[in-house]
Amino acid sequence: MKMPCSRSNTRLITCFILALTGFYLAPAEAAKTPKNQLPIANAGLDQLAGLAQSVSLNASQSYDPDGTLQKYQWLQIKGAKVKIAGAKTATPTFVTSKALKKSKPVDLVFKLTITDNRKGRAIDKININVSNQPCIAPQQLQNGNCVTPNPAVETTTVQPKLDGLNLANTRYTLMSDDGTQPFSPQTQTSTLNIDTSTPKLVMLVNEQNQPILMSRNHAGDKAVNIDIASTAEVFLLAQPYFFGVPISDTKALSARIRQQPLFADLIAALQAAINSGSPCPLMPSCNQKASNIADALLEALDVNDLVVPAPTSQASKISSTPLIGRKSSQLRQVQNKGGSGVNRVNGLSANDVQLETLNGRAKVTLDGDGNLTVSNSYLTYYLLRGRAANGELGGGKW
């Protein structure tokens, strides 16, 4: 409220006191209203569209820095006219034409005008390019942009088969990279869906998170079984023998493992441990019998032709065909004790041979006398390239 304080006013003294105490400001000293900041209009990114397609416009990213937006107005300023539904809203829509003149792409341009609570205005534009084929296969039009769709994911259902197994009345969980699912041995109704486009390890674990059954699918499998046979196979593949060894055909490896006479013995040893109530039947330290059978099976298993050869070093002087050799029982026994093994390679010298490990876990050296030294308890394979006088390494099979 204004209070005139002129000299002729009888309330001059009162005005003077109020001015001194700060309760009254003379009109010249009154606070000024800040200047209105104009709003910021954002009509969205330009889009692509096909024929007879519904298109959405979106001004929701527009804002007013010092107030609120009161009005939205969309207006088409270029291209074949279309009917805008909701032209006075932030998110209107329209449908493109069913045909194009001369089948050439056209641009539809729309102007957005926004108004704030103090009559401030701002403008932005958006371009919609309409064509017969806005995207080139395999790309597809999504939200006004050409995107490459994700490949269809094929899944399969996994359900444990408990034939021949006496599982205790406890809680189990079926798990893989794709999730978990409670499983009851009594009802056997719980299942788990997994993506079969890539190999997955599936496990049935007990309350202590110890695996009871395991399975590993091959890429593209239409069905995955998790039973005592699949468990025996994964138990074998988990041995240090296979650490870091690239296999060219995993299905062939699986078939070769299951054809081994000792595979039935491995199944029986694992089944006995499960039925006895062992808390960790698949741990080698808990199931020494199964571990010993696995060792013997590995000694009899020949997978040399399935191992992917390591690339030849450019600095190597070796020109002969690579020989892949498996470690001998004697050398393997020394390694399992954590020490070093020394073996002689007949007809080779340090200048004639290049030695590499496929798992990168071992140190391999060859001295001038032809003594091969391997240090590491987890060495699985050596890749040896050389000119052996008799074509063999150490006079026998490695």
What would the pLDDT profile of 73-117 be if each residue is shown by its tens digit?
Answer: 999 999 989 999 999 999 999 999 888 877 788 999 999 999 999
Mean pLDDT value of segment 239-254:
82
Are 129 and 72 part of one and the same domain? yes
The H-assigned helical ranges of the chain are 12-21, 228-237, 250-258, 262-275, 288-300, 329-336
Tell me which H or E stretch contains 223: none
Are 56 and 16 part of one and the same domain? no
Mean pLDDT value of segment 293-302:
89
Residue 31's pLDDT band (cuts 50, 70, 90): low
What would the pLDDT profile of 329-383 be if each residue is shown by its tens digit?
Answer: 223 222 222 333 333 334 444 444 444 444 344 444 555 554 545 443 333 333 3
> Is 75 part of a structural domain of the chain?
yes
> b vs e for 128-156, b when ≥16 Cβ sit within 10 Å of the residue's Cβ?
bebbeebbeeeeebeebeeeeeeeeeeeb
pLDDT at 211 over 80: yes
Could you tell me which residue, 261 or 350, shows the higher pLDDT? 261
Contact in structure between 87 and 79 (CB atoms under 8 Å): no
Q: What is the pLDDT of residue 366?
A: 52
Could you tell me which residue, 252 or 244, shows the higher pLDDT? 252
Angstrom distances, CA of residue 17 to CA of 1, 8, 11, 21, 161: 17, 16, 10, 6, 96
Residue 5's pLDDT band (cuts 50, 70, 90): low
Question: What count of Cα atoms within 13 Å lies in the side-chain half-sphere of residue 86?
Answer: 12
Are 281 and 340 part of one and the same domain? no
Mean pLDDT value of segment 236-255:
83
Only one residue has tokens 């999504």, namely 142
Angstrom distances, CA of residue 102 to CA of 98, 99, 106, 132: 13, 9, 10, 11
User: Which domain, by its residues, includes 163?
Assistant: 155-300
Structure tokens at 259: 């054809």
Q: How many domains does the chain have?
A: 4
Q: Which of 267, 300, 333 is the last residue of a domain?
A: 300
> Is 196 part of a structural domain of the chain?
yes
Percent of the residues in the chain that have a pLDDT greater than 90, as a whole number = 36
CA 287 – CA 266 distance, rounded (Å): 11
Could you tell me which residue, 286 or 338, shows the higher pLDDT? 286
> Is 390 part of a structural domain of the chain?
no
Are 77 and 130 part of one and the same domain? yes
pLDDT at 312 over 60: no
Does pTM surpass 0.75?
A: no
Name the amino acid, one letter, at 303. Answer: V
Q: What is the pLDDT of residue 367?
A: 52
What would the pLDDT profile of 152-200 be if each residue is shown by its tens digit?
Answer: 667 888 889 999 998 877 789 999 888 898 988 888 878 888 888 888 8
Spatial CB neighbours of 5, under 8 Å, sequence gap ≥ 6: 11, 12, 15, 16, 19, 26
Q: Chain-wide mean pLDDT for the chain?
A: 74
> Is 391 part of a structural domain of the chain?
no
Only one residue has tokens 């409670």, namely 182
Q: Which of 251, 272, 300 is the last residue of a domain?
A: 300
Are 113 and 193 part of one and the same domain? no
Are 230 and 348 part of one and the same domain? no
